[in-house]
């Protein structure tokens, strides 16, 4: 009997998001573990996820960083699939006001996403030397577009 796939604890929205963008199996187990580490470190179980990913020259999806968005702040779990140690950045929303946002999209219109859609989003924070870089392909572009709207809504520009 195959082992039942693990789920993000008590986060049906995150579960639906990861299923929609095709994250299953071993990667899903890794993400669940990252969520548990995040919840322990930040004592927070009320957050949204975003998985930054891109396609290489052969068209294979390369998963990069896992992002956590909550009222407490924004966290980036760097290289979560390629590292045995935790590397998590955190910025408080009190200082995380984007002073600059750069978005590039190809074959993407909100509400109309195809397999060839790509998007990248870069944001520079007003204080400190903190920037955020996100990328997405296919259906994940819709989720990155929501992050763009969120960043724009809290921006000072």
> How many CB atoms neighbour CB 155 within 10 A?
14
Please write the tens of the pLDDT for every residue from 130-145: 788 999 999 999 999 9
Least confident of 46-55, 86-95, 107-116: 86-95
What residues contact 80, with CB distance under 8 A and at least 6 apart?
30, 31, 34, 65, 66
Q: How far is CA 16 from CA 3, 19, 49, 129, in A?
A: 20, 5, 11, 34
Global pTM value: 0.83
Distance CA 78, CA 30 (A): 13
Eight-state DSSP code of residue 85: S
What is the per-residue DSSP string for 87-126? Answer: -EEEE-TTT--EEEEEEEEEEEETTEEEEEEEEEEEEEES
Q: Judge whether residue 94 has pLDDT over 70.
A: no
Class of the CATH domain delimited by 12-154: mainly beta
Q: How far is CA 58 from CA 37, 45, 55, 117, 118, in A?
A: 33, 37, 8, 15, 15
């Amino acid at each position: 009997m195959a082992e039942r796939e693990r789920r993000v604890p008590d986060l049906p929205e995150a579960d639906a998001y990861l299923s929609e963008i095709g994250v299953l199996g071993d990667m899903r187990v890794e993400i669940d573990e990252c969520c548990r580490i995040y919840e322990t470190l930040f004592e927070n179980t009320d957050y949204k996820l975003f998985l930054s990913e891109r396609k290489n020259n052969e068209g294979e999806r390369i998963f990069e960083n896992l992002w956590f968005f909550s009222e407490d702040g924004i966290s980036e779990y760097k290289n979560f699939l390629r590292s045995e140690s935790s590397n998590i950045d955190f910025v408080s929303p009190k200082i995380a006001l984007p002073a600059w946002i750069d978005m590039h999209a190809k074959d993407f219109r909100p509400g109309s996403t195809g397999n060839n859609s790509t998007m990248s989003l870069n944001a520079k924070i007003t204080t400190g030397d903190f920037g955020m870089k996100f990328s997405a392909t296919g259906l994940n572009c819709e989720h990155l577009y929501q992050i763009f709207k969120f960043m724009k809504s809290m921006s000072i520009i």
